[in-house]
Amino acid sequence: MAWLPALSLAAFVIYMADHLGGWLSVRLSSFREDSVPSMKGKVVVVTGGNAGIGWHTVRLLAAAGAKVILACRAVQKGFEQVQTLPPEVAQQVEVMELDLAVFESIVAFSRRFQEKYQQLHVLVLNAGLAKTFLGSAGWKLTPEGLEEMVGVSFLGHYLLCRLLLPVLRHGHSRVIGQSSVAMANSYLRGIDPKSWTSKPQDYHDWKQYGQAKLAMRLFMTELQRREPGVLCLANHPGVVENTSLMHPQGAGIVERWYDALLFKLWGMRAADGGLQTAWLASTAAEQLQGGACYKPIGRERRFISDPLQRLGNLQAPLPMRTDFPTLWTDAENVVNERAGRNLFPADTAIQPAL
């Protein structure tokens, strides 16, 4: 029976490589880069499209024939990335400036886009910011006075999506919000609007990051309820190597151990990082459940709270609040408060479906 511990360890590694959405999730699926159906005639916006998961989503959808707007803050890096594509794919990509930490940049992007395009078929709310493994040093505010992880990953996207609704309502459109299994690492109270602007006494970088991802998950559910004509999907794109959770400069032993375990042992290759998002963007609408959350590749993730995920982040595996009915209005109120004016014009006002 000496082999039993080794067998148990191997089984655990294999299980986690799928549970977290890593290399095994890719192996279990037949969906590959050449599986993306034609997206010709479709207009797609991918935020944070100049690196990581966003970049691989851009190249996959552009290669499938979509007109892809690569929206990013680092415009020069976006242009440099596009130049690495084959000419016939590169011509399908347009780089546009978008800084999700700055309201005026979001408003300007929305205006420029709608001046040029009459319809938006797929909006991928992909950009995100992780200040994990930085402890209290990770607390930082955006120019608008919002905590960065929630401000960029959720509130900036919330404003962008609301402003782009006029071109999403023309039919056969979808919104994909990048969430994560890390949504289970939020505070036990789930969403805490006070922590969006003021540092709570129990601030924890991983909990704040988890809250941002939980907010995106709940946002997609509420958006689907309010906009039944738009297909709204939350997405866990997978655990992907070389993503921004890690901070190699000055990384401690815990972070190096976590990096090796999560990304080297369980994670998928960087090149596969866009597969799950591309699947959601291109799969026939009748095969998808509006308001649901999906994980790699093409499987519905039916639960939010996850004791195993919390344990993996050295958190007590206690039940976490997974609903927050006032998220929509709280997000709208804090954006308008920080902007000092109403950024949501009447033509983007939404009435819940009866």
Which positions are catalytic?
209
- Which residues have C-beta within 8 Å of that of residue 292, sequence separation ≥ 6? 233, 234, 300, 301
Instruction: State the DSSP string of 256-281.
Output: HHHHIIIIIIIPBPGGGTTHHHHHHH
Contact 47, 105 (CB under 8 A): no
Residue given tokens 């707007």 in the structure block? 69
Phi, psi of 36 (to 5 degrees): -65, 120
Angstrom distances, CA of residue 185 to CA of 192, 271, 313: 13, 26, 7
Phi, psi of 351 (to 5 degrees): -110, 130
DSSP helix/strand/coil, 34: helix
Cα 252 to its chain centre, rounded Å, is 27
Contact 24, 14 (CB under 8 A): yes
Query: Crossing angle, helix 103-116 and helix 157-168, to 10 degrees?
Result: 20
Angle at 260 between CA 256 and CA 263, to 5 degrees: 120
